[in-house]
Structure 1
């Protein structure tokens, strides 16, 4: 079994510390859910303009990024929010390609007063017709 930890547990660690601790404690990978206070890590140089350095550091340490944990919620009734989730999905999809990462973690989202059946319909519609279209 391969083991990874999430950066939620080490919000103040820089990339070199994350990598060295992962190696020291025999982890196989790191699940990024934020980095140094920024939850949308694709906005950071380590995952955009300086991504090649980040990839090299992970490769040299023989570590994987098995999952990028997003802020995407499948249940929302807001088209504006859904559009922002769609952009986030694009960005994490790009990171998945760069790091050969197979998974993006998403949230279901709180449904409030709506019935569970209606919420499921919203999620299905959001997923099939909105999030997965260009």
Structure 2
């Protein structure tokens, strides 16, 4: 198992700053979503070469929502796929879109499947090695809904398991999610939260209600060998403490689970 963090936690940092922080914390990789205050990663990397000796970038995060993507959105996403291929990054994250409180619209599902086929056809034509990976998020915050989309495809989409969202929003136990879709899970997001009257608030790793030790015990027992990112969403929640304050808490959770961050 490899450990890293999403650059959402330090959205104004450069790649070099994020890399230095990850190395200092003994982490293995980066998940890149925001750098230098921008979400436009093709533009960022066009102006900022990757420093020599940088950690691998395991996932590149896009803003593509499959159920509502138009032609311009898909064309922009191709820039992320091309960049991922140049960086040697295996996965480009996509969202399904929508709200979990609403039923999935069959027409929007068919549209999402059409978008996936278009991406795959373009990747094959260009020889891009990266692949889109669907985050279990928003309307797709449980296994059944991800499987419903995959049933419309010739080959299923790989999954990025947002372990918090399937538990907190999707209402699935960690064991049930794993049993349902583990063959498709290529990457995992980890975060913690505490319920409030309005919903929930994110809190430092290990200080909330998320069953952190259950997650890492499950992954260890099942021999999971992919990546786990701390997703500290300071980009969207600027009230959160700096990423530097959350990373030691993440390390504490990992040590309690029997891992060292550099293992």
TM-score category (smaller protein):
0.7 to 0.9
Q: How many residues align?
A: 121
Task: Point out the structure with the larger strand share.
Answer: 2
Change (3 A) 1:114 1:100: same
State the 1:50 CA deviation.
4.1
1:86 partner SS? helix
Q: CA RMSD in A?
A: 2.2
**Any gaps of 5 or more consecutive residues in structure 1?**
none
Change (3 A) 1:48 1:83: same
2:107 aligned partner: 118
Is 1:94 the counterpart of 2:82 in the alignment? yes
Task: Point out the structure with the larger helix share.
Answer: 1
2:53 aligned partner: 60
**Any gaps of 5 or more consecutive residues in structure 2?**
123-263
CA contact (8 A) 1:70 1:88 kept: no
CA contact (8 A) 1:7 1:34 kept: yes
1:82-133: CA deviation from partner (whole Å, max 9, x where unpaired): 22222222111111111111100000011697743333222112322x4445
1:75 partner SS? helix
State the 1:75 CA deviation.
0.5
State the 1:30 CA deviation.
0.9
CA contact (8 A) 2:11 2:38 kept: no
Equivalent residue in structure 2 for 1:71, among 40, 60, 63: 63
Structure 2 length-normalised TM: 0.42
* Inter-partner Cα distance in structure 2 for 1:92 and 1:115: 27
CA contact (8 A) 2:3 2:27 kept: yes
Structure 1 length-normalised TM: 0.77
